[in-house]
């Protein structure tokens, strides 16, 4: 590289740093600017000569992360300094102790929380999950840790194109499974939305591009509609003397795609793609809540509301601090339009979440909600013996993507995750209440402990001093607090059964002149579908797993040359001695053709992909390559926790082998309708059906058809031809197949 290029790069770095200082509204005192400059110079020197995969200077990454933290999240001086230094300990010779001496204990602690673990945990555990656990441990002490991590993840997602394909899937899956819900939980709507969109763009680029084009086309079409819709609202608010803005927006690409998947609808039938937001400045010292309702009244004088679509998060804010009034009203041309009403304070908190609360210290209840959530995470972290993947699942359950409001007998509100049971609520109120709970009254009706609560329920917990905790409670509680408290009670008993189970297995193997080793354990765990070694021992000790079929399990052969190549390409070692001299191959996308029969791979039972689907492979501990659809929730979870075992894969078109697919079909019930569509399937399209189940009620029929199909093209043609039949209303593929 020439001196001119180096000088140009240095000018770019300095220019970016000056922009950072300008964007950081909370770093403007001389003392704060000096501290930020000191951190920048140290990071710049520490990362000298380092470059990212894209070829750009590495220092530009921490600079951009610090800018996101300052401008998009609203962190102050300490947060910006920690963002600038977040990779220094991990990638350079500086230590946490060095940073502590230079910048103080708080900044050093934040950077330490952002530094990945290396070689300090059981290698059988998931590296991704263990790193995430460490991150959360530090977050409980200082929430800025996770806010900076979200800024780091956002910049990595924005610059993901330079990474190899299998790493892109790993990072995108982890983002969608953990970081986007985490941003949502912290109220960072803008960041959550962008993370979701970027994940979709990575995993399904064609779908993302198609939807982007459709949204752009509809934006042009909707401009006039939005102007006509908001004109009378603006005229009324001006007359009332409000300072305000009315803006129209489309739902994010990911949220549109998600709704299309859930409801099985095309883009054109998603009616609430458009939303109007009214943001205003309160006046006359009236309460914000009062003015929001007054504005709602004015708007519904002009446009009639849809009764079942009113959402009041002003009276009862969401647990992440979100406040607004949402309603769906009938606009011009007979179109439903979602309208959101919020003050400027509410709007900033909606975009920046808890990070915006430093500006609004009079609203302390929002911080207390954060404190409650951090306390729940602390409950999760309090069990050091828990398996890292189990921890990740429990944490995911407690992100509260869907929340509900539960009322106590005295009218107090408890925010609980959707799906929580009466016993979960008992533990949420107090641990002793959970231990003594024998049932509950929901809306004055007696229900069992396992009763699943619904938003708005009023619940009275019933207890008995004779009640003792039961291990099978773990089968229906969902919250981290309830699970952790129940497990604590049975810790000693579980420990004894684990030791017994290990002894029983050892004795069974000893009779065959074998000893316990990781290869044997993985075979037994895989056979019984158990991820955790201790759980296997526990079930053996408890007697729920018998070892009668041990010879059959141990005789299972799972490896072949084709799989070994993909293990090497992923850098996963194998027990075979001959493999130790081979070097990992550079990973290429796996091309699946009809020459690769079923002995080479397994079709995932959770999503049943067929040729033509976007797929990826997961290489499990038993050398089995399992093919998943990229949109499969299980695949997203695997990418987030076992990303190093993900194989990029493409599926060539098949015309010989057939794969099981499932379609749902509905329409107007009439004589001969079943014969019509079965004729199209069997005769016209030459497709074999495995089973058909049709139910008719009130003049409407609905059903499911299982059939064997060569590829996605044939399936789409079949659906297209079925939709031509008069009386057929909807035909859609179901990816969740019950086999």
- Give SS3 for 324: coil
Distance CA 633, CA 616 (A): 13
Among candidate residues 90, 224, 582, 652, the one labeled active-site is: 90
Q: How far apart are CA 63 and CA 88, in angstroms?
A: 12
Beta strand 590-592 with 646-651: parallel, antiparallel or unpaired? parallel
Determine the angle formed by the axes of helices 344-352 and 189-203, rounding to 10 degrees. 40
CA distance 11 to 355: 32
Question: Any catalytic annotation for residue 548?
Answer: no
Closest by Cα among 82, 84, 75 to 186 = 75
Nearest 5°: the CA angle 593, 599, 600 is 50
Is 90 annotated in the active site? yes
Q: Which of 425, 408, 427, 407 is nearest to 417 (CA)?
A: 425
**Cα-based distances in Å from 152 to 38, 139, 156, 695:** 21, 15, 6, 52
* CA pair distance 178, 180, nearest whole angstrom: 6
Tokens 């990973």 locate to 587
Phi, psi of 296 (to 5 degrees): -60, -40
Give the C-alpha separation, 704 to 695, whole Å: 9
Q: CA-CA distance, 61 to 584, in Å (whole number)?
A: 29
DSSP letter at 117 equals: P
Distance, in Å, from the CA atom of 586 to the CA atom of 607, rounded to the nearest integer, reads 29
Q: Could you say which of 18, 41, 91, 97 is catalytic?
A: 91
Q: Provide the 10 A C-beta neighbour count for residue 468.
A: 8
Provide the β-strand partners of residue 658: none
Q: Which residues pair with 442 in a beta bridge?
A: 445, 459
Question: CA–CA distance from 478 to each of 98, 251, 286, 376, 552 (Å)?
Answer: 42, 30, 41, 12, 36
Angstrom CA distances, 451 to 376, 445, 447, 477, 718, stand at: 22, 11, 6, 10, 43
CA separation for the pair 418, 731 (Å, rounded): 30
Distance from the first to the final alpha carbon of the chain? 60
- Residues with catalytic roles: 90-91
């Amino acid at each position: 590289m020439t001196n001119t290029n180096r000088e140009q790069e240095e000018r770019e770095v300095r220019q970016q740093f000056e922009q950072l200082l300008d964007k950081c509204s909370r770093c403007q005192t001389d003392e704060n600017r000096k501290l930020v400059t000191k951190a920048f110079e140290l990071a710049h020197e520490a990362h000298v000569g380092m470059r990212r995969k894209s070829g750009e200077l590495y220092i530009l990454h921490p600079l951009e992360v610090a800018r996101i933290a300052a401008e998009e999240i609203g962190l102050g001086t300490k947060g910006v300094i920690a963002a600038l230094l977040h990779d220094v300990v991990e990638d350079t010779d500086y230590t946490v102790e060095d940073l502590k001496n230079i910048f103080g204990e708080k900044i050093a602690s934040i950077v330490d929380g952002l530094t990945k673990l290396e070689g300090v945990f059981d290698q059988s555990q998931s590296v991704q999950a263990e790193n995430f656990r460490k991150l959360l441990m530090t977050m409980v002490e200082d929430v800025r840790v996770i806010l900076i991590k979200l800024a780091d993840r956002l910049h990595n997602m924005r610059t993901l194109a330079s990474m190899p394909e299998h790493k892109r899937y790993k990072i995108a899956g982890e983002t969608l499974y953990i970081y986007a819900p985490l941003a949502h939980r912290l109220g960072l709507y803008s960041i959550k939305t962008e993370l979701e969109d970027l994940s979709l763009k990575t995993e399904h680029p064609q779908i993302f591009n198609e939807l982007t084009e459709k949204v752009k086309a509809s934006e042009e079409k909707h401009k006039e509609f939005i102007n006509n819709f908001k004109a009378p609202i603006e005229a009324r608010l001006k007359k009332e003397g409000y300072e305000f803005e009315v803006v129209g927006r489309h739902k994010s690409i990911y949220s549109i795609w998600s709704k299309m998947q859930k409801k099985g609808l095309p883009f054109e039938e998603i009616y609430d793609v458009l939303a109007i937001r009214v943001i205003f400045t309160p006046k006359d010292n009236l309460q914000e809540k009062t003015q929001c309702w007054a504005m709602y009244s004015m708007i519904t004088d002009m446009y009639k509301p849809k009764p079942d679509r009113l959402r009041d998060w002003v009276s009862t804010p969401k647990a992440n601090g979100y406040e607004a009034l949402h309603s769906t009203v009938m606009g011009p041309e007979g179109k439903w339009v979602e309208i959101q009403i919020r003050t400027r304070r509410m709007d900033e908190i909606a975009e920046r979440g808890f990070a915006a609360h430093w500006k609004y210290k009079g609203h302390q209840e929002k911080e207390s909600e954060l404190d409650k959530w951090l306390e729940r995470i602390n409950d999760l972290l309090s069990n050091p013996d828990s398996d890292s993947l189990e921890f990740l699942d429990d944490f995911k359950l407690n992100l509260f993507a869907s929340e509900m409001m539960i009322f106590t007998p005295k009218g107090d509100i408890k925010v609980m995750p959707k799906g929580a049971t009466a016993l979960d609520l008992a533990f949420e109120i107090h641990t002793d209440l959970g231990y003594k709970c024998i049932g509950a009254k929901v809306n004055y009706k007696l229900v069992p402990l396992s009763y699943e609560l619904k938003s708005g329920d009023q619940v009275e917990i019933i207890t008995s001093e004779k009640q003792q905790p039961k291990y099978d409670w773990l089968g229906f509680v969902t919250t981290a607090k309830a699970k952790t408290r129940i497990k604590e009670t049975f810790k000693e008993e579980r420990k004894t059964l684990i030791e017994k189970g290990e002894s029983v297995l050892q004795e069974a193997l000893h009779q065959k002149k074998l000893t316990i080793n990781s290869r044997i354990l993985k075979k037994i765990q895989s056979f019984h579908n158990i991820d955790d070694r201790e759980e296997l021992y526990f079930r053996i000790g408890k007697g729920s797993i018998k070892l009668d079929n041990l010879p059959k399990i141990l005789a299972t052969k799972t490896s072949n040359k084709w799989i070994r190549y993909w293990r090497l390409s992923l850098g996963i070692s194998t027990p075979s001695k001959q493999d130790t001299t081979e070097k990992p191959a550079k990973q290429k996308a796996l091309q699946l053709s009809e020459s690769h029969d079923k002995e080479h791979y397994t079709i995932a039972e959770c999503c049943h992909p067929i040729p033509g689907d976007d797929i990826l492979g997961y290489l499990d501990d038993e050398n089995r390559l399992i093919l998943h659809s990229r949109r499969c929730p299980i695949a997203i979870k695997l990418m987030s926790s076992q990303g190093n075992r993900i194989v990029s894969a493409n599926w060539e078109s098949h015309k010989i082998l057939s794969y099981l697919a499932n379609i749902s079909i509905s329409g107007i019930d009439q004589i001969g309708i079943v014969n019509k569509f079965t004729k199209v399937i069997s005769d016209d399209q030459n497709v074999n059906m495995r089973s058909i189940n049709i139910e008719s009620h009130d003049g409407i029929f609905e059903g499911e058809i299982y059939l064997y199909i060569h590829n996605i093209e044939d399936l789409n043609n079949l659906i297209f031809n079925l939709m031509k039949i008069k009386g057929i209303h909807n035909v859609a593929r179901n990816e969740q197949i019950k086999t």
